[in-house]
Structure 1
Amino acid sequence: MARDRRILDAAAVAFHEKGFHGVGMDELGSRAGLSGPSLYRYFSGKDEILAKLLDEAMDELLTATEPTDPDPRGDLERALRHHVDFALVNRPLVALYQREVRSLADPWAAPFAVRRKEYTKAWERLVSRARPALDEATIGAVTQGCLGLVFSVPGWPERTLAVPRAADAIVDLVLHGLVGVDSAP
C-alpha cells in the first residue's frame, strides 16, 4: 500500500476516535508506521490530510449522483443505495465529515464548501426528476431529510447495523418516505 494511502487510512481512524484536534502529526505518523516528521513529505499537515479525506469521499459521492438510469425513480434508488452502502462501509469517514467539516482550514475550506453545494444540488435534481410534482422548497427539505437519515448511520448502534439487509431497510425507509411526501396535501 502506498504511504500516502496508509497515512490517510490511519488519519481517518485516528480523527474518528479522537477528533481532528485531538490527534497530532506524531501520532498520525506512528499509526501509519512512519515518523511524524516524515509525514510532511506527503502532506503539508493535518489540515491537508483532512481535506484529502473529505475530498476523496466527496469525489465518490458526487460521481454517484450523476444520472445513469433513464427511469428517474430507478436512478434515485441507485444513487440512494450507493450512498447507504458508502455510509455503512465508511462509517468512520462519514462520522469524521459530520463532526469535522467545520475544521477545514484555508485554502481547502472554500472549494470544499462549493463542492458541498454542488452535491446538494445534484441530489435535489435526482429527487426532482423522481418526484416532479414537488415544489422547490419541498425538494430541498426532502433532500436534506434523505441525506440526514443516510449520514446518521455512523451513530447507530452496532447491533442495529449488524442485521442482514440493514442497507435494504434504510433504502426502503427513505423511498417509502418519499412516496409519503407525494401523497401529502
Structure 2
Amino acid sequence: MPRDRRILDAAALAFHEKGFHGVGMDELGTRSGLSGPSLYRYFSGKDEILATLLDQAMDELLGATAPVEDDPVRDLHRALRHHVEFALANRPLITLYQREVRSLVEPWAKSFTRRRAQYTRQWEALVARAHPHLDDTTVAATTQGCLGLVFSVAGWPDRVLSTPQVADLILDLVTRGVDGAGSAA
C-alpha cells in the first residue's frame, strides 16, 4: 500500500476515534508506521490530510451523481444504492465529515464548500429528472431528506448494522421516500 494511502487510512481512523484536534502528527506517524516528521514529505500537515480525506470522498460521491442511465428513475435508484453502500463501507469517514468539516481551513475550505454545493445541485438534478413534476423546493427537501437518512448510518448501532441485507433495507426506505415525495406532489 502506498505510504500516502497508509497515512490517510490511519488519519481517518485516528480522527474518528479522537477528533481532528485530538490527534497530532506524531500519533499519525506512529499509526501509519512512519515517524511524525516524515509525514511532512507527503502532506503539509493535518489540515491537508483532513482536506485530502474529504476531497477523496467527495470525488467518489460526485462521480456517482453523474447521470449514466437513460431511465431517470433507474438512474436515481442506482445513485442511491451507491451512496448507501458508500455510507455503510465508510462510516468513520462519514462521521469525520459530520464532525470536522468545519475544521477545514483555507485554501481547502472554500474549494470544498464549492464542491459540496455542486454535489447538492447534482443530487437535486437527479431527483428532478426522475420526478419532473416536483417544484424546486420539494426537490431540495426530498434531496436533503434522502441524503440525511443515508448518511445517518454513520451513527447507527453496530447491532442494527449487522442485520442481514441492511443495505437493501436502507435502500428500500430511501427509494420509497423519494418515490413517495414524487407521488405525493
3-state DSSP class of the match of 1:105?
coil
Cα distance, 1:162 vs structure 2 = 0.6
The whole-number CA distance in structure 1 between the counterparts of 2:179 and 2:6 is 43
Aligned equivalent of 1:85: 85
Runs of at least 5 residues in structure 1 that lack an aligned partner in the other structure: none
Aligned equivalent of 1:131: 131
Between the two proteins, what is the percent identity of the paired residues?
71
Cα distance, 1:180 vs structure 2 = 2.1
Aligned equivalent of 1:153: 153
The whole-number CA distance in structure 2 between the counterparts of 1:8 and 1:183 is 43
**Which residues in structure 2 correspond to 1:6-85 (within 5 Å)?**
6-85=6-85
In structure 1, what residue type is equivalent to 2:87? A
Cα distance, 1:177 vs structure 2 = 1.1
The whole-number CA distance in structure 2 between the counterparts of 1:170 and 1:124 is 20
Aligned equivalent of 2:119: 119
In structure 2, what residue type is equivalent to 1:30? T
Aligned equivalent of 1:3: 3
Cα distance, 1:159 vs structure 2 = 0.9
In structure 1, what residue type is equivalent to 2:140? G
In structure 2, what residue type is equivalent to 1:133? H
Cα distance, 1:182 vs structure 2 = 2.6
CA shift digits 1:21-60 (9 cap, x unpaired): 0000000000001111110111000000000000000000
In structure 1, what residue type is equivalent to 2:2? A
Structure-1-length-normalised TM-score: 0.98
In structure 2, what residue type is equivalent to 1:78? R
Aligned equivalent of 1:96: 96
CA shift digits 1:57-83 (9 cap, x unpaired): 000000000101100010000000000
The whole-number CA distance in structure 2 between the counterparts of 1:38 and 1:68 is 42
In structure 1, what residue type is equivalent to 2:165? R
The whole-number CA distance in structure 1 between the counterparts of 2:43 and 2:184 is 50
CA shift digits 1:122-150 (9 cap, x unpaired): 00000001111110011001000000111
Cα distance, 1:179 vs structure 2 = 2.5
CA shift digits 1:73-108 (9 cap, x unpaired): 100000000000000001100110111111001000
In structure 2, what residue type is equivalent to 1:160? V
Runs of 4+ aligned residues of structure 1 deviating over 2 Å after TM superposition are 182-185
RMSD (Å) for aligned C-alpha atoms: 0.8
Aligned equivalent of 1:169: 169
The whole-number CA distance in structure 2 between the counterparts of 1:112 and 1:175 is 28
The whole-number CA distance in structure 1 between the counterparts of 2:70 and 2:178 is 19
My pick for the range that moved more, 174-183 or 25-34, is: 174-183
